[in-house]
Structure 1
Amino acid sequence: MKSRASIPDITSAQLWVVETAVKERFGAGVVEVQVADSDIRLDPADREMTSCPTLYWTDGIAHFVIFKVGDGLYRSQFFYSKREQYGTGRREYDDLAECVSLLLKMEADQRSVRAA
């Protein structure tokens, strides 16, 4: 596994950005955003995984993750199960607010498709 020495930890300001967006979507106190680490391939051709700081939350239906893959660089996805995993159509973001807002919007859209 590659070291994540070059990837800074999640800051309190970054956590606040995500928590604020999540509260707007689900309501205050409903969903807890957790800070974790995830082992991912930064490039599909990489043989080794890289440990990346991660923000994770679930509302009991969908699970959401935002990976910090560099200084000010983020990737995101949501999933309902191992078979139902979705991205936003964009590989990386350099704006965390845009990353989380699009992630939440895409999941809301997918949720309405699943309900139909």
Structure 2
Amino acid sequence: MNQIPDITDSENWTIRTTLKERYKNDVELQIADAEIRLQASDRELSNCPVWVWKHGGCNFVIFKSGEHKYRCQFFYKSYRQYSTGVYEYTDVAECVVSLLQAQADFEAKEQGDL
């Protein structure tokens, strides 16, 4: 089984700073663990650290899936899950910015602004 490194202070700082810039205030950012398949063909689930936050009725998750590997999604209900369209990022800043932009675009489209 692959050992995924713990979340670093630098990664935390990057996400917290980006969220504060986006929302203009501190967001309650939680760190948890999740089990995911690192490859579609994997039979075993791998434990990975995740960042989780909620804003405006939307839930956000960034999975750390390896050394400099990140996956992300946002969802409103468990049956309404969305992603950025990129399977995995190698830069946490790019991951969080893309996730926030994808969710903002989704909201604008839902409201008829796009």
**Structure-1-length-normalised TM-score:** 0.90
Question: Where in structure 2 are the equivalents of 1:1-116 lying within 5 Å?
Answer: 2=1, 6-29=3-26, 31-116=27-112
Question: Aligned partners of 1:54, 1:75: CA distance in 2, in Å?
Answer: 9
Question: Aligned partners of 1:61, 1:110: CA distance in 2, in Å?
Answer: 13
Gaps of 5+ in 2: none
Q: Number of residues paired by the alignment?
A: 112
Aligned AA (1:38): A
Gaps of 5+ in 1: none
Structure 1 runs, 4 residues or longer, greater than 4 Å off: none
Question: Aligned partners of 1:27, 1:94: CA distance in 2, in Å?
Answer: 26
Question: Aligned partners of 2:20, 2:101: CA distance in 1, in Å?
Answer: 14
Question: Aligned partners of 2:7, 2:25: CA distance in 1, in Å?
Answer: 21
Measured against aligned partners, the alpha-carbon deviations of 1:10-31 in whole angstroms (never above 9, x if no partner) come to 01110010011111111213x2
Percent identity (aligned): 46
Measured against aligned partners, the alpha-carbon deviations of 1:69-102 in whole angstroms (never above 9, x if no partner) come to 1111111111111111011111111111001000
Question: Aligned partners of 2:40, 2:87: CA distance in 1, in Å?
Answer: 12
